[in-house]
Structure formats: C-alpha cells, structure tokens
Structure 1
Amino acid sequence: MGAFVAPLAVHLGLPLPYLLGPLIASGTIAILRPQILPTGYAFPQRIRIVFIGLIGLMIGAQITPELFSDPTALALRATALAAFVALAQLGNAYIFQRLGGYDRATAFCAGAPGGLFESIALGEESGADPARLMLQQFLRVIFVVSALPVALSLWLGAPVGSSAGLSFARETTDWVALPGIGITLGLGIVAGHLLRLPARQLTGPLLLAAAVTLSGLLVIELPQWLVNAAQIIIGTALGLRFTGLDRKLLLKATWLSFLSVTLMMALAGGFAALLLPLGDEPFDVVLISFAPGGLTEMALIALSLEANPAFVTLHHIIRILLTVAGLGVLSRRWRREKL
C-alpha cells in the first residue's frame, strides 16, 4: 500500500512524501477501517528496525570534518540548542500534561522537540501511551515541515524542500557499495544494543556512520531507492499503530500540537535572532536550523535557499542527540521509580 501512496504524495508536493504519505494512508485505515486489517496484526519489528537503522546511516553520513571548522561558534550554538531543547521540552510537557491531561511519560516524550523515531522508541521503553505519543510526534512533523516550506516558498516565490526535487541520497549507487552499507548497518544496530544507547536502532548506526565517515574508512552513499523504501516501511509501520484511535483524541491532539509547535517556533525565532551576530548566515537559515521539523526536510530547505546544508544538518543532529540524551536520562529515572 505504501509503495502506491508514496508517488501520489510526491505528486501532491507533500513534505517528506515517502514517509508521511504511507503514514497518513495506513494511519487513516487504522483509525477509520481497522476491521479490514488481520486480527492482531502487528508490523514485523525486525524489518522496521533494519529500515530505521538505514535512516540513521543517512543522517550519520552527513557529519563531515568541515562542520567543526569553527569550534567556538559551534560551542555557542550547541549551548543555545541545549537551552532551546530544555525550554521547548518543559513548555511542551506543561501543554501535554496540564492542558492535555497526559501522564508524565507520555507528556514528556510527546513534547520532545525532535527525533520522531527516537522519542517514540524511548516512549515505548518508558511506558508512555503509544497512540498519543505517536500522534503528537506525527502532528509535530506535519505542522513544521508543511507550514515552514509553504511559508518560505511564498516568501521567496519558489518551491523549497522535497517539493523542489532535492535529496541527500544518490540517484544511483554502485552495487559494490551496498555490502559496506550493510556491514555498517549491522554493526551499528548491534553496537547500539550492546551499548544500550537510547533509540539504539537509530543512534547506533548513526554514530557508527559518523565515525567511519570522519575517519575516512568508508564513504556511505545510500541510493535514493533504498532511502525511499526505508521511509515507506517506517511510515507504514507507524501508521498501523494508530489502530483503534478515537477520533475525539485526534481533534484534541491537533489542538495541543498547534499550541506546542507555536511555542517551539517562537523559541526558534528568538534563538535565531540572538545568534545572528555569530556568523554570516541570514535569519531564515538559522531559523531552519532550530525549527523542530524533520532533519532531512530542513536540510533540503536549506539547499533551496542556497545555504550550507551541512550547517543546518549539524544543528539538527545536535538537537536530536540532546533531545535523546535528555529523554534517556528521564526514561532511566522513571524505570527506577517503578522498581
């Protein structure tokens, strides 16, 4: 199903079409027509883990030595990102817990200002409500990666992001490169489990891909068809988890997500204004670097603005890692409290 819906999402200009198209389609079926699914059906977890790992490889491969050429400015921006993550996390937790009535674990993981897959994985480990958590994270991505490209497109008078036909993956990749990709993926997944990393199925391959890229041991270039397939599988798997979701909950989650995204974009705008003196990047590029949307989509928007995609990518990687680290600490604390 996802393979048929994704091209339609591309045609319609949907941001992150290969992820969000299948997610919307499978989620719609899970919510409105769950009876057509086999009784007790669950998407194969092992398949999902492999394709989440591929996304981690793609992100990790974007980390290059050039990203660390100005350590002082990088340290200041990382500090600002840490403050942004903390303020956004606390503000979102208040919105979801106090206004939405969510339990503590669900509120904090649903309010994570980044890391769609990571926050869902950590939420599952922490006992969060999976339906509410996935719905809020999904709506966060939808709001940010839909509204921001549209707003920038209207401002610039030209399409940006995936609607502009840009991508990090290669259209064609030598088949001889695939064994190296497979080995790195497998070792990354294993390392993530052995080291007990948060959201290990993604962060393990991500960190290993970054290590081999920075060391020069291997150049990881995923073919476009493989990246597309990974997004289709992940989107379909996430959407199917909405089976039996109450429609009233969907309306409530949409309102809460609107409040949450408004708060985060206000914070992103404030930090972008404060950081302008640090470099030559214009306000819109720094804003994209803080916007709590999908890493790939934000970097693609940067390409459309003729900005350095590595600059934007590094900021989002730092934001994701800070978010995952913070949730990881909270997750371990919550598990100890239950013992």
Structure 2
Amino acid sequence: MKTAGIAFASGWLFYEVGMFLPWLLGPMFVLLLLNQFTAIKLHWPKILRTTGLVLLGVQIGSSFTKDAVVLMWFDLPYMAFMTFTIVALSLLLGLLFKRMANESLATSLLGSIPGGLSQMVVIAEEVDSANVTVVTMMQTIRIFMVVSIVPFFAVFLVGREASELTQQTFLFSWMPFLAAIFAGLGVYWLMKKIGFPAAEVLAPIFTMALVQTVTGQYLIQMPYWLVALAQVFIGANLGLQMEQVREKMNWRMGMAIVVNNVLLIGFSVLIAYLLAVWLPEYIFLDFFLSAAPGGMAEMAITALAAGADVALITSFHLFRLFFILLMAAPIIAFVVKKLDAKT
C-alpha cells in the first residue's frame, strides 16, 4: 500500500504540473530516487506489472484495424532497413563499450543490443563469459534513459491532431468481445508454453489485431483512467527495477554506458530523419518513436500521448524484437561461445 500510495501521488503531482506522460514518469522517477537514496522498503507486486502490460496490450491492439494490418506489409522493407542498421550499430557500440569498460565481448554485445531486459539477461545466463549483472545494468539504464529522453523530445515534435487520427466507431458487441477473450487466453497460454518473450503485452496485441481484422469491428474503448492506471503500474515497476545501481557501478562503467546509449539514441534520430525524408507521407515523430531503442510498451505509451501512429510504431518494434530474439541474439551467443571455447 505504501508503494502504491507513493506511485499514485507522484503521478498526480506530475499531472498537476503539466508534465508529459505524468502517470508513467512520475512513479518511475520518484520511486527510483527513493529506492536509491533512502532506506524506505519498497515493493511492487509482479501481478500489478502484469496487469499494466495486459491493459496496455489491449490499448495498443485496439489501434490495429484491418487497414493498419494491410499497411504493415508495405512497410516491411522500411522495418528491415531500420532494424538492420540499428542492430549493426549496437554491435559496433558493443565493441566500443568493451574497450571503454574493459568488459568481456559477450557482456558488451549482449548488453548493447536492444532486445529487451529480461530476454537479454536470460541469454547472458547461458554464456559463461557474460557478466549477467553488467548486462542487466546496461539494459536497464538504456530503457530508463530512452524512457526519460525520448518523451521529452517528443513534446517538441509535431504529432497528429485528434481530427487526423483514424476515428473508430465504437459499438459494443458480445460475440467478438467473448471471442477476443478466449482467443487471448489461448494465445497467452501458447506463448508462455513455448517461452515466448513479453507474452503479457504481445498476446493482447495479437488477439485484438486478429479479431478486429477478421470482424471489422472496434472491440473496446478504454477510458482515460484505465490507461493512466496501466501507466502507473508500469512506471512503478520501471522505477524499482534499478536496485542499488550506485553500489554496483563504477565511474568508468557508468560513463561507458551513458556514451553507448547517447550514441545509439542519436543514431536512431538520424535513421528516423532519413526515412522521414525518403517517405514524406509519414511524419518524423512516427519514425523517431519506431527507431527509439526503448521498450515497445513505453514507446507505445509515448505514441498515444503524442499523436503518433501507434499501430505503425508497434509494428516496427515487433519486427525488431522478433529479429533480435530469434536471429541476432542467438547468433551472437553461439559465436561468443565458440570464441570462448577456443580461448
């Protein structure tokens, strides 16, 4: 109750002063500071984080109409270009981090590639030469930096007005709604069974996209308070993820992580600019949030608040997530294991 009270109070405070994404950034910053600089015992139940991700997944999935799903096929070349360039630069930055922080090759590469905190940690645990603690810190700090920096810049970028966004006519219907619930439970069970990453947010997205595409109906209209609740649940979890970082990190490693992430974010901006020039029918904000090396959930929340194309941005992040988890990260782990065996 204590942690929840602090989380909601900080969200309300950020909301009152007019901060961007107050219900996400308020709990995240306040709980991070309390966790790092006070002796207050704070705990956030996993069920609340899961609930927040499910609610967010439903909100994101509702943006996937039949037209949006069809457009994804036309965007595949751009998704591939953005993903390949960002992953290639991540690997180069991993080599730079290795020299700056004097860490192992496995630690540097797995910590630099933007494939998700929990997923990269699991892969790092399977590589003997990888320092799991450092990989965890690199991934956590990158997400924290992106979630802090990207929304700040998004405020100054031109998004779409409410009249420009696709307007869905909401008319509740029991049959598609029940079909979505049962399909979602089945998709979630299957994802957990095969160990698929981020099932809590991906299962609702896939389910909503599938049912809305097949039926042509807009299934649910989430009220603002429910979206804000999901943001509080996710923001509080992010704030408490960074446990006692000051005790685990030295100055040299801290500088290396900051340089690594600033360069990656800067390169993402460059890629977004090139695509926006190449494809003038899109807006820069869409590509900026699509290229940002942060979590899909956090970037989708930013897109919702900034007037960006949520379905497009989610599609880009899904493509990158699948490529990294199914191809790039396993290949990196395999190569590093072979190098370790030789040495």
| Aligned-pair CA distance for 1:137 | 1.7
Paired residue type of 1:210: A
Query: 1:1-339 alignment to 2 at 5 Å?
Result: 1-33=6-38, 35-37=39-41, 42-69=43-70, 73-101=74-102, 107-113=108-114, 119-126=116-123, 127=125, 128-129=132-133, 130-146=136-152, 148-152=153-157, 186-216=185-215, 219-246=219-246, 249=249, 253=254, 256-270=257-271, 272-273=273-274, 276-278=277-279, 280-283=281-284, 285-293=286-294, 294-297=298-301, 299-300=303-304, 303=307, 309-326=310-327, 329=330, 333=334
| Aligned-pair CA distance for 1:230 | 1.9
Deviates more, 1:73-82 or 1:327-336: 327-336
Closer/same/farther in 2, CA of residues 71 and 24 from structure 1, 3 Å limit:
closer
| Aligned-pair CA distance for 1:36 | 1.8
* Structure-2-length-normalised TM-score: 0.72
| Aligned-pair CA distance for 1:142 | 1.4
Q: How many residues align?
A: 317
Contact 1:198–1:325 (8 Å) recurs in 2: no
Q: How far apart, CA to CA, are the structure 2 residues paired with 1:55 and 1:68?
A: 19
Q: How far apart, CA to CA, are the structure 1 residues paired with 2:181 and 2:207?
A: 12
**Structure 1 match to 2:129:** none
Paired residue type of 2:119: L
Report SS of the residue matched to 2:245. coil
Q: How far apart, CA to CA, are the structure 2 residues paired with 1:249 and 1:256?
A: 10
Closer/same/farther in 2, CA of residues 211 and 285 from structure 1, 3 Å limit:
closer
Q: How far apart, CA to CA, are the structure 1 residues paired with 2:34 and 2:259?
A: 24
Paired residue type of 1:189: Y
Cα shift readout 1:85-108 (whole Å, capped 9, x = no counterpart): 322331342344432445556544
Runs of 5+ unmatched residues, structure 1: none
| Aligned-pair CA distance for 1:242 | 2.5
Contact 1:144–1:292 (8 Å) recurs in 2: no
Structure of greater Rg: 2
Paired residue type of 1:216: T
| Aligned-pair CA distance for 1:19 | 1.9
Alignment RMSD (CA, Å): 4.3
Contact 1:143–1:258 (8 Å) recurs in 2: no
| Aligned-pair CA distance for 1:32 | 0.6
| Aligned-pair CA distance for 1:131 | 4.1
Paired residue type of 1:2: A
Closer/same/farther in 2, CA of residues 194 and 132 from structure 1, 3 Å limit:
same
Q: How far apart, CA to CA, are the structure 2 residues paired with 1:325 and 1:55?
A: 24
Paired residue type of 1:93: G
Cα shift readout 1:155-214 (whole Å, capped 9, x = no counterpart): x6xxx69xx9xx99x9x9989899777656544432220132123333333323322232
Contact 1:264–1:291 (8 Å) recurs in 2: yes
Q: How far apart, CA to CA, are the structure 1 residues paired with 2:193 and 2:201?
A: 13
| Aligned-pair CA distance for 1:298 | 5.0
* Structure-1-length-normalised TM-score: 0.72
Deviates more, 1:220-229 or 1:326-335: 326-335
Report SS of the residue matched to 1:246. helix
